[in-house]
Structure 1
């Protein structure tokens, strides 16, 4: 009996509180808050990145670009893509051969980029980008066809993979429409199915410089 009375008392208190909330907060006067609301500030942007890191024990340079939208000057959403532009050489095996030889690594990745900015109006602020996507990688023997100098390359093996790359940047407001950033990322790669290259060989930290253009 006492338990029932307590429940009824709690329900009455909640009902009273709800009525007071509805009386002072008319749903017609307040729009439901959402990320893609008409009241939010939405601006387009584009950026170019340079990333330097180790792949298969060799220093490599990745060049890429990304673009999308900045919401309320803080939240970032868009698409990104990067490719390896320097030569990464290592000792590996060609199927059917037992003697190691010089092979080369080619590849790239892309996907969605999301993130946020801390204190975006300040001259110096923090940006936190995260890339989620996929990529492809191939191992190439550049001297496989020795009797054909014009086209001696042969793809030894190739694979697709999943990539997740969170980062941390210190960004500078150079002008109202241009930002320069410098920071680091960690590239996590999973799902490679290669004999000469493992996930750990191509995962790792990178140093980066970013050039971002838009209305900030």
Structure 2
């Protein structure tokens, strides 16, 4: 948890130094500055992500999408969701069976996505996405019912969990309506209640490629 707090503090410190703040000190200007103001520029966007990461010591692919709004070209607010699309296999235990066997991990996660963008008008700039949310994982034995080849899978156990995933991404302005990004995130997982999989087994670094569409 301390690592998460330090990471979030560092993220917002970088953002604060990266933005140009101007205060006119005009006594006539009594309006309180806020993100959700009529004077702010609000643009919608949608995006798709490809993430390569390790879960239960196996490398695989997560695919997801996110969308929302960008305020003043700098601040992102939206929702995101990701799912496991490749096989994550590991040795685990099935109830009432003394020996370990090959099991699979299924699931995904999602939540609120926020974060600043530094120098968004530049050809190459920095985005700092932060996802806060929850997810679900299930451990599956795909060969449990040997007498039914059409449906042999059995869910050994499942659990929900909480997730915080801060990241750092370099973005390229390809066109006015398309941005391509590449970067990395760190996934903090807590609250997982499984016998075969622990929080540390599904926490870790992720490499990502992002395709973002909208009016920037």
CA distance in 1, matches of 2:55, 2:121: 36
Runs of 4+ in 1 over 6 A off after TM superposition: none
Counterparts of residues 140-151 of structure 1 (less than 5 Å) = 140-151=140-151
Cα-to-partner distance string for 1:35-69 (whole Å, 9 max, x where unaligned): 10000000000000000010000001000000000
Please give the alpha-carbon distance, in whole angstroms, between the structure 1 residues aligned to 2:215 and 2:134.
Answer: 29
Name the SS for the 1:95 alignment partner. Answer: coil
Matched, 1:25 2:27: yes
Query: Cα deviations across residues 76-112 of structure 1 (Å, max 9, x unaligned)?
Result: 0000000000001111000111111000000100000
Q: Tell me how far 1:171 sits from its aligned partner.
A: 0.2
Tell me, what secondary structure is at the counterpart of 1:39? Answer: coil
- Residue 45 of structure 1 is matched in structure 2 by 45
Following superposition, the deviation at residue 31 of structure 1 comes to 2.1
- Who is 1:60 aligned against? 60
1:126-173 C-alpha deviation (Å, 9 max, x unpaired) = 000000000000000000000000100000000000000000000000
Structure 2 residue aligned with 1:117: 117
- Structure 2, unaligned runs of 5 or more: 1-25
2:15 corresponds to which residue?
none
Q: State which structure, 1 or 2, has the greater radius of gyration over its C-alpha atoms.
A: 1
Work out whether 1:157 is the aligned partner of 2:170: no
In structure 1, the gaps of 5 or more residues are 1-23
- Counterpart residue number, 1:7: none
Q: Deviations along 1:165-190, whole A, 9 cap, x unmatched?
A: 00000000000000000000001100
Alignment of 1:1-216 (within 5 A): 25-26=27-28, 29-216=29-216
Q: CA deviation at 1:32?
A: 1.8
SS at match of 2:128: strand
What SS class does the counterpart of residue 95 from structure 2 fall into?
Answer: coil
Provide the alpha-carbon RMSD of the alignment: 0.8
Q: Secondary structure at 1:197's aligned position in 2?
A: coil
Number of residue pairs the alignment of both structures matches: 191
Moved more, 30-39 or 195-204: 30-39
CA distance in 1, matches of 2:204, 2:90: 17
* 1:166 match: secondary structure: strand
Task: Report the secondary structure of 1:150's partner residue.
Answer: helix
